[in-house]
Structure 1
Amino acid sequence: MGAADKRRQKLEQLFKTLAPISAFSKQQARECCSELTAGFVSSTLKDLVREGILDRYQSDDRETYAWRNAQVRVDPSHWIERQICGSQVTAQPEHERPRERLLAVGAEGLGDADLLAILIRVGVKGESAVEAGRRLSRAFSENLAELRLTSKDDLRNLSPAVTVTSYAAIMAGIELGRRVADSEKRQRRERTPITSTGAAIEFCDDVFSNLALSGVQEEFHIVTLSTKHLPINTHLITRGTLDASLVHPREVFRPAIRDSASAVILVHNHPSGDSTPSREDHQVTHRLTEAGKLLGISVLDHIVVASEGSISIRESS
């Protein structure tokens, strides 16, 4: 007889002995189940209390246990099977195991619960990695992005299978996925020429999204472009209130010359959230456009980014 069968037999024996008794003390339980070790009886009672099957009462030095639904005959079969197999993903048929399914159909073919189960990797007593993945998936079904901001203790409260190790794996998986996505977006941007106002706004909304949403002061940047108008690089020129005296053509076009740029896009933010260009914005655009003509570097556009949306100064002129 294997270890799992032996444990199943002991749990069945404990239930058969204690189920007819509506209330009992820990000592009585040990005496009634004398063929089982005291440690096994105590740990099983603790598990039953944690899952709400038993109620525990403390009076002086005496612990008393009572079945939560004393009038209903306790059916232990499902609970016992969960104790035996619940913490073992290998107890599932192979084609249902998350890791094997990923290898068979690819990660994109798995749901959130299965992906989380793979990151959690192993369960704990009474909670498999698969069950833990389902719990977390349900908890974050409305907003999966919140998972990244959730603390270890909060995830642990959702599932006891979220240990320090599995929490670290989940956070590492999320961060790696974010970096891969950023890399893919960057590669797409580098291969997509900016040939219109719409393309310029879309590019700036993507690259300068943090500046638009959370910038606390004005920043002036440029995007350098190749002869085919493919993005080369972005450069911060200055921080502070935008005016013609602060944004000197020398500072703006120095990095453009260094990048051998054929054109540039001017970009700055409005921390107020309103992207409507000011008179100074128009003045800076005109001055830099004229300076660029002398250098043979065209100013393709000037985009104002803000939390309420981005605007092209070329189109608003």
Structure 2
Amino acid sequence: MDTISMDTLSSAPAIGQPTELKRDSRSMSEKRRKRYQGVLYPLAQRSRFRRSEMADLVDEETASFVTRTINEVVRAGVLETIREDNEILYAWTANDPVGSVDQWIDRRIHGDQVKETPEQERPRERLMRLGAASLSDADLLAILIRVGVVGESAVTGAQKLANRFHGELDRIRDAGLPELREVTPAVTKASYCQILAALELGKRATEALRERPVVIHKITSTLEATQYCAEKFAYLAGDAVQEEFHIVTLDTKHKPIRSHRITIGTLDASLVHPREVFRPAIRDAASAVLLVHNHPSGDPTPSREDHSVTQRLTEAGKLIGISVLDHIVVARERCVSIRECS
């Protein structure tokens, strides 16, 4: 049996060695760059040229590659087509054709693929370094899409999705795979499942947070009221797309008993009837209530109607012996006490 010496093993190249892979990748990129340059540099020496002249100006490439490259440059807006005397001419759109060609080649080769981005700037690395909250919607979606497809990177696809569902990310749950693929081909069956799983997990985590009792002994100040609502109703600030009006019932020591949702929709004094507000408070044998509603816009500034509702319910509470401790507006920016704004 033949034997292999340790010297032979140590001198053999490592299979799958990262340095070799990077070198091969750079070599392939340089070959592509030179091929594009071979087509476009000769043409960039003229401000405009005829289609019939391309074969003479570029004589070291196949006609199909030249045509395909020119069509891609036209689609990118670097070249424009002009029809003159029943013939097609091409004109460069920039004053510096060579410079615009170099920029196009860089985008064509590297694009916005994650692997071409400096490591510290990649979405996953930034998430690990700065936390998920620091990432944009597009960054988070890029992590879920994970890999792109030919012609569309995960980053580009994620940005298209973020633009399409800006301000209404919850609607992605209702969109099927065909609809998302109309937005970007980067959403494959696998990435679609990952996106839906992430949204569902986020929804369940929010529901678990909502159901978890807030550890607080009693609410006796505006600060304690806003802190309680910021935690207890965090889902209203971040996820709700409509205004919701809730009450928190309090016992004689102002300890929270439970919360009740009263209405959904724009807060209106004519819709928030004292009967509906105080019925659960009476059922809980509450001594006081805390009024809570959200502003989906993200701005917690109380409106005139918010003040009107607060005043009306405060007066009604006095008649039946249940005091309105405060009215808290929750929003993405912060929580605001209407009592403090009065």
Q: TM-score over 0.5 for the alignment?
A: yes
Equivalent position of 1:288 in the other structure: 320
* Structure 1: segments with no counterpart, 5+ residues: 141-145, 153-161, 290-298
Equivalent position of 1:163 in the other structure: 184
Quick one: percent identity of the two aligned structures? 27
Match status 1:147 vs 2:173: no
The answer to whether the 8 Å contact 2:314/2:323 transfers is no
The offset of 1:285, in angstroms, is 1.0
The 1:182/1:44 distance shift into structure 2, 3 A limit, reads same
Equivalent position of 1:229 in the other structure: 255
Matches within 5 A, 1:1-317: 3-30=28-55, 32-59=57-84, 61-69=86-94, 72=96, 74-75=98-99, 76-92=101-117, 94-103=119-128, 105=129, 107-108=131-132, 112=136, 115=140, 117-118=142-143, 121-122=146-147, 147-149=166-168, 163=184, 165=186, 179=203, 186=210, 190-198=214-222, 199-200=224-225, 207=233, 222-225=247-250, 229-230=255-256, 232-236=258-262, 246=275, 252-254=281-283, 256=284, 263-265=287-289, 267=291, 273=305, 275-276=307-308, 281-289=313-321, 299=322, 301-303=324-326, 311=338
The offset of 1:82, in angstroms, is 2.8
The offset of 1:265, in angstroms, is 0.9
* Structure 2: segments with no counterpart, 5+ residues: 1-23, 173-182, 294-301, 331-335
The 1:127/1:166 distance shift into structure 2, 3 A limit, reads closer
The answer to whether the 8 Å contact 1:222/1:235 transfers is yes
The offset of 1:83, in angstroms, is 1.6
Distance (Å, rounded) in 2 between the aligned partners of 1:118 and 1:248: 44
Q: Which moved more, 1:163-172 or 1:17-26?
A: 163-172
Equivalent position of 2:9 in the other structure: none
Question: What count of residue pairs does the alignment treat as equivalent?
Answer: 274
Q: Which moved more, 1:50-59 or 1:226-235?
A: 226-235
1:15-60 deviation line (CA, Å, top 9, x unaligned): 2332223322334324543543333223322332344432221347
The offset of 1:65, in angstroms, is 0.5
Distance (Å, rounded) in 2 between the aligned partners of 1:237 and 1:101: 40
- Aligned to 1:7, the other structure's residue is in SS state helix
Distance (Å, rounded) in 1 between the aligned partners of 2:250 and 2:62: 76
Q: Which moved more, 1:267-276 or 1:43-52?
A: 267-276
The 1:184/1:26 distance shift into structure 2, 3 A limit, reads farther
In structure 1, what residue type is equivalent to 2:324?
D
The 1:225/1:59 distance shift into structure 2, 3 A limit, reads farther
In structure 1, what residue type is equivalent to 2:258?
I
The 1:93/1:252 distance shift into structure 2, 3 A limit, reads closer
